[in-house]
């Protein structure tokens, strides 16, 4: 697989990584055996960047990676592992964020224990805590690099202005944001700022939480998934419209001899050599579909055809509900 660098001075990783939120039960029940099968497939396919977080299944995702690494000692050297912290709850049980040095270190210590590691390759602030300036958050993360608990720092769901301010205090290796053919807000400054500053742009949900695939999550399952059942793009009448529009994209992918997921990831790889999609799935077969995008070379004519069937702003409904949208910085 093509290699891309995770930050200006970071390690090279496969152009497409893996988002391990799917090791939790976010999109349906899973277990350690299935998660380990995905990690075996990642090694076979050249997927070397694993992305997880402390809140994915409240430690379940990190623990699955940790038990795999323990059972396969040589695998640690094959993977570049990132995790995140910041999302927590206040005294009343409401979702909140904490970018304090104490919280970040305490949560990273727990993550390291679950992963069975002394150091992660990349540690993100999962959301920006408005009580702290970008400079303060960068400094708090940077201290963990200085302590040897992380090799690099990242920021998630932030504005370009936040990145620029943070970079003045400590080098940021990666910015993570939802980015796909159905969510293109990062094109309005974030992708460009990352390129300018030598920061990797890690694109999560690159297949639109299954919309940009040949097998979207069935309607009957959506009702059982708390996140999707309240997500505007998966609620009626938006869902019917989105599925209707996606028929054209699936047809185009078939005409081009690939899958919709493969084409969606291939499109992201054309957005810049610093863009690294991290699709997540509970299925080895679906993982292969996503990774197939790394082998595609899209021409200008191909991109025009994609744009014709999925023009900017085609999706019906916002990417998040009001409750889900608390935390990500809006900058456009």
Which residues participate in catalysis according to the annotation? 56
Report d(CA 316, CA 238) in Å as an integer.
5
Of 194, 155, 233, 176, which Cα lies nearest the Cα of 21? 176
Cα 52 to Cα 229: distance, rounded to the nearest angstrom: 23
Helix (H), strand (E) counts: the chain: 12, 12
CA dihedral sign, ordered 51, 186, 96, 208: negative
Task: Report d(CA 320, CA 314) in Å as an integer.
Answer: 16
The Cα–Cα gap between 206 and 263 comes to: 10
Cβ-contact 183, 208 below 8 angstroms: yes
Nearest C-alpha neighbor of 228 from the set 6, 36, 21:
21
- Distance CA(241)–CA(232), nearest Å, equals 12
The span from the CA of 24 to the CA of 57, in Å, is 4
């Amino acid at each position: 697989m093509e290699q891309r660098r995770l930050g200006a001075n970071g390690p090279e990783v496969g152009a497409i990584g893996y988002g391990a939120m799917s090791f939790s039960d976010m999109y349906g029940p899973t277990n350690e055996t299935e998660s380990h099968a995905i990690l075996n497939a990642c090694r076979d396919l050249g997927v070397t960047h694993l992305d997880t977080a402390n809140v994915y299944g409240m430690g379940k995702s990190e623990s699955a990676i940790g038990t795999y690494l323990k059972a396969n000692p040589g695998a640690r050297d094959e993977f570049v592992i990132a995790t995140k912290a910041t999302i927590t709850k206040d005294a009343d049980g409401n979702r909140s964020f904490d970018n304090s040095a104490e919280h970040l270190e305490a949560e990273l210590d727990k993550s390291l224990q679950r992963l069975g590691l002394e150091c992660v390759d990349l540690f993100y602030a999962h959301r920006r805590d408005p009580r702290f300036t970008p400079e303060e958050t960068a400094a708090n993360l940077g201290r963990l690099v200085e302590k040897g608990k992380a090799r690099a720092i990242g920021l998630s769901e932030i504005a370009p202005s936040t990145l620029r301010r943070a970079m003045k205090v400590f080098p940021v290796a990666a910015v993570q944001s939802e980015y796909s053919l159905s969510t293109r807000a990062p094109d309005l400054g974030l992708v460009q700022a990352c390129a300018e500053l030598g920061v990797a742009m890690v694109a999560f949900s690159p297949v639109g939480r299954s919309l940009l695939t040949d097998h979207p999550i069935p309607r009957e399952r959506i009702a059982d998934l708390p996140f999707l059942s309240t997500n505007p793009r998966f609620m009626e009448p938006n869902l019917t419209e989105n599925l209707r529009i996606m028929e054209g994209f699936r047809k185009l992918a078939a005409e081009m001899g690939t899958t919709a997921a493969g084409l969606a990831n291939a499109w992201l790889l054309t957005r810049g050599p610093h863009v690294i999609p991290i699709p997540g799935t509970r299925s080895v077969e679906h993982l292969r579909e996503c990774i197939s995008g790394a082998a595609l070379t899209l021409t200008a004519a191909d991109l025009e055809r994609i744009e014709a069937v999925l023009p900017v702003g085609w999706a019906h409904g916002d990417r998040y509900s009001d409750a889900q949208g608390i935390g990500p910085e809006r900058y456009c």
